[in-house]
Amino acid sequence: MSSMSNHKHTAILDAAYELFGSGGFYETKMSEIAVQAGIAKGTVYLYFKSKEELFMAVTRRDCEGFLQQLQERLKASDTLAGKLSIIAKHHLYYYYERKRHTKLFFRAPNNNPELVAYMTLFMKEYMQAVVMVLLEGGASEPELMAQSYIGMLDRLKMDILFDPSFKEEDAYKRAGFAAGLFIKGALDYLNLGQDDRPVE
């Protein structure tokens, strides 16, 4: 792809992200995306055959960026507590940065098997990244712990997305609280003897 083609491709993705996120998939027209990107409508179709394909490309770029940034940030710490704190901040601040684009998550195409399959794969990769952190930290049940941690963070993200008054410092405060609460529980669990753990 030439530099000019790459520029147009990026411009289309940026415009689609903005409009899908603020207006919703069904409400957004390809002609509006073209205007936002500063190109002709026909040019959009040279890069993406349909609005569904464009939405998939926007989603894929966003999710890949999330995972790549997480891996880079995890390199900043060598401890379990430090890495879990990084995960919490990354997770919640990711959604804070997208407060104006909530419809990207909640007004996506219905019954799109490709989108469902991709999001399932994305969640598996994210879960695996957290599992690896917990394994390196000595967790005996890393999958269950990872599910619990991501579930906690996902609940906190809802306040970020739906509370108009939510501020940046609130996101960091909640990330710190969630990480601290989970880290204490995880470390206590790891330090307990088998006989001292709650009965299942």
Task: Note the pLDDT tens digit of each residue in 70-117.
Answer: 999 999 999 998 999 999 999 999 999 988 888 777 777 777 889 999
Model confidence at 198, pLDDT cuts 50, 70, 90, reads: very low
Q: ∠ CA 127-133-114 to the nearest 5 degrees?
A: 20
**Contact present, 21 and 104 (Cβ < 8 Å):** yes
Q: Dihedral (C-alpha) 157, 162, 163, 165: value to the nearest 10 degrees?
A: 100
pLDDT at 183: 82
pLDDT at 2: 67
Mean pLDDT of 22-42: 94
> 11-25, 42-56, 99-113, 118-132: lowest mean pLDDT where?
99-113
Per-residue pLDDT at 36 exceeds 90: yes
State pTM to two decimals: 0.86
> 133-137, 165-169, 194-198: lowest mean pLDDT where?
194-198
**Contact present, 38 and 18 (Cβ < 8 Å):** no
Other residues' Cβ atoms within 10 Å of the Cβ of residue 94: 18
86: left (phi over 0), alpha (psi -120 to 50) or beta: alpha
Per-residue pLDDT at 197 exceeds 80: no
Domains and CATH numbers, the chain: 1-49 (1.10.10.60), 59-196 (1.10.357.10)
Per-residue pLDDT at 199 exceeds 50: no
Model confidence at 194, pLDDT cuts 50, 70, 90, reads: very low
